[in-house]
Amino acid sequence: MGLFLKGITLPKRLSAPSLSLIELAAPEKVILPLRQYVGEPSEAIVAVGDSVKTGQLIADASDTHRLPVHATISGTVTEITAHSDPRGLHVESICIESDGTDTWLTPPEAQQPPPDTDNMVTRIHAAGLIAQGPFSTPLAYDLVPVDQPKTYLYRDGTNVVQKIDTLLINCLDAEPSLGVNRYLASTHNDTLEQGIAALKAITGATRVVFAVDKHFSPWPQLNEIVQNDEEEATCITALNGRRFPTGLPIPLVKAALSREVPLPYGHPRDVGVALYDLHTVIAVGTSTTSSAPQTTTMITLGGGALKQQGIATVRLGTTIGSLIDSLGGTTDAAKIICGGPMTGMAQYDRDTPITKEVTGLFALTDTEIQLSGEYRECINCGMCVKVCPVNLLPGILSLYCAKDKFDLAEAEGLFSCIECGACDYVCPSRRPLVHLFRHAKHQLME
């Protein structure tokens, strides 16, 4: 354990999220993008003026590259048009005005887990689950069936294929400011064990490792699962969650399992690991044992400018503006961010909806965002090199990217960058390093 030595330790204000549970009423309006992941959009099967009920299928998905969309409140479809999403993209979206009753089409019922893995994956897909991450994908597409291992890696003209042996459950969060997984790790979740059983069956993993934050104990349910495993193939690994970016996939696999994901283009599955957030594992358990599709998501609400901070279950499609209003508003917010302060995206439109990809909503004050002003030339101080968890030379990369020398940046390892933002955070010249890297990747992929 503990091979992950780089990265940064964030101050307490950025690593101690409030884990109080906030109850929220259903919103009066939702905006549901037809694409809430990397992939193809779904096709709307309702029209403006239609009445819909909560849980009703409103956009269909013909394959695992796209996901079905369900109404998250009952009411009337008022618009089907392009709306900005949390990534700043314009995506065709279905808008629903509430009828105030929140009536389900069919109230969710408990059901027996399917006996075979194909049907498990079918239910996961029908529920509309995604695998969250920088490139969120439909979960059914991301899952690695035991008899069809996947890889993105090619070496010597052939695919490198590795069987999955370990289910690594991320009970930390992508950033220390986010708290959903750490909150769930400290509470009891009715469908966690079903989720683990389904993911073991689908991926073929024989071992389960819970990666937890040592600062957020105890984990009573996780301890019970470990003790009840007669095969002794389940364990808990406690990591320093204040060290950033321990909660991101590549560093997490290294810190929890001492395995190195090959970069660039590697994936935890290339070293035999199926890696999922605790939040996702619980959702898998729910989708395989209940008829309810995903209509909500659990997110962290934080930042010094937000009147209430904590963890909340939010209806998908709730607009950022109405969510902030329902929390009592903000005081002197200098920046609104979807995701966490280190890796999230700044938001400028109150009507942007909370989607399946969103892990947090932060309203930051001036002091929290360390207003940077103009960025300056690189002074070759090397601080970015010291913290980069994947051993890149961010300063040099940024020079190539800023001068549009994208091929040189690629040769220098641009696609190994996991966009954690640690280099940005320490750069005394306030260079917008991650912004430059994202732009360069985008240009190369085009």
User: Binding to ligand SF4 by residue 255, rule CB under 6 A?
Assistant: no
Binding residues for ligand SF4, total number by CB under 6 A: 29
Rounded CA-CA distance 281/285 in Å is 6
Q: How far is the CB of 404 from ligand SF4 (least distance, A)?
A: 17
CA atoms within 13 A on the CB side of 10: 26
CB 397 within 8 A of CB 339: no
Minimum CB distance to ligand SF4 smaller for 149 or for 341: 341
Residues 6+ apart with CB under 8 A from 407: 444
Residue closest to 239 by CA, chosen among 204, 215, 270, 205: 215
Minimum distance between the CB of residue 243 and ligand SF4, rounded to whole angstroms?
A: 13
In terms of CB distance, is 275 or 384 closer to ligand SF4?
384
Indicate the burial class of 156 (C-beta count within 10 angstroms; 0-12, 13-18, 19 or more): exposed
Which of 431, 436, 440, 441 is the binder for ligand SF4 (CB under 6 A)? 431
Q: Is 209 in the site for ligand SF4 (CB under 6 A)?
A: no
Q: How far, CA to CA in Å, does 182 sit from each of 337, 354, 362?
A: 20, 21, 17
- CA–CA gap between residue 365 and residue 124 (Å, rounded): 39
- Minimum CB separation of residue 4 from ligand SF4 in Å reads 12
Length of the chain: 446
Query: In 316-434, at which residue ranges do the beta strands (DSSP E only) sit?
Result: 335-338, 345-347, 360-364
Smallest gap, in angstroms, from Cβ of residue 394 to ligand SF4?
Answer: 4
Phi, psi of 199 (to 5 degrees): -70, -35
The binding track of 168-187 with respect to ligand SF4, each residue x by CB under 6 A or -, is --------------------
CB of 3 to ligand SF4, least distance (A): 16
Site membership for ligand SF4, residue 121 (CB under 6 A): no
Residue 436 in the binding site for ligand SF4 (CB under 6 A)? no
Nearer to ligand SF4, 161 or 379 (CB): 379
Encoded one letter per residue, x for contact with ligand SF4 by CB under 6 A and - for no contact, window 332-371 reads: ----------------------------------------
CB closer to ligand SF4 out of 26 and 342: 342
Distance CA 391, CA 375 (A): 23
Nearest approach in angstroms of CB 402 to ligand SF4 is 10
- Least distance to ligand SF4, CB of residue 15, Å: 17
Q: How far apart are CA 426 and CA 422, in angstroms?
A: 7
Q: Which is nearer to ligand SF4, 91 or 378 (CB)?
A: 378
120 binds ligand SF4 (CB under 6 A): no
Q: Please identify, using beta-carbon distances, which residue of 314 and 420 lies nearer to ligand SF4.
A: 420
Task: Spell out the alpha helix ranges (H) of 99-190.
Answer: 117-127, 139-142, 180-185
Of all helices (H) and strands (E), which one includes residue 197? helix 192-203
Instruction: Find how far residue 133's CA is from the centre of its chain.
Output: 4
Give the integer Cα–Cα distance in Å for 174 and 419. Answer: 12
Cis peptide bond prior to 264, omega within 30° of 0: yes
Which of 433, 436, 440, 441 is the binder for ligand SF4 (CB under 6 A)?
Answer: 433
Q: How far apart are CA 400 and CA 380, in angstroms?
A: 14
Residues 366-425 that bind ligand SF4 (CB under 6 A): 378-384, 387-390, 392, 394-395, 398, 417-423
Partners of 345 in the beta sheet? Answer: 338
Nearer to ligand SF4, 108 or 134 (CB): 134
As measured in angstroms, the least distance from the Cβ of 84 to ligand SF4 is 25
In angstroms, give the least distance from the CB of 135 to ligand SF4: 15
Q: Does 427 bind ligand SF4 (CB under 6 A)?
A: yes
In the complex, the residues that contact ligand SF4 under the rule CB under 6 A are 378-384, 387-390, 392, 394-395, 398, 417-423, 426-429, 431, 433-434
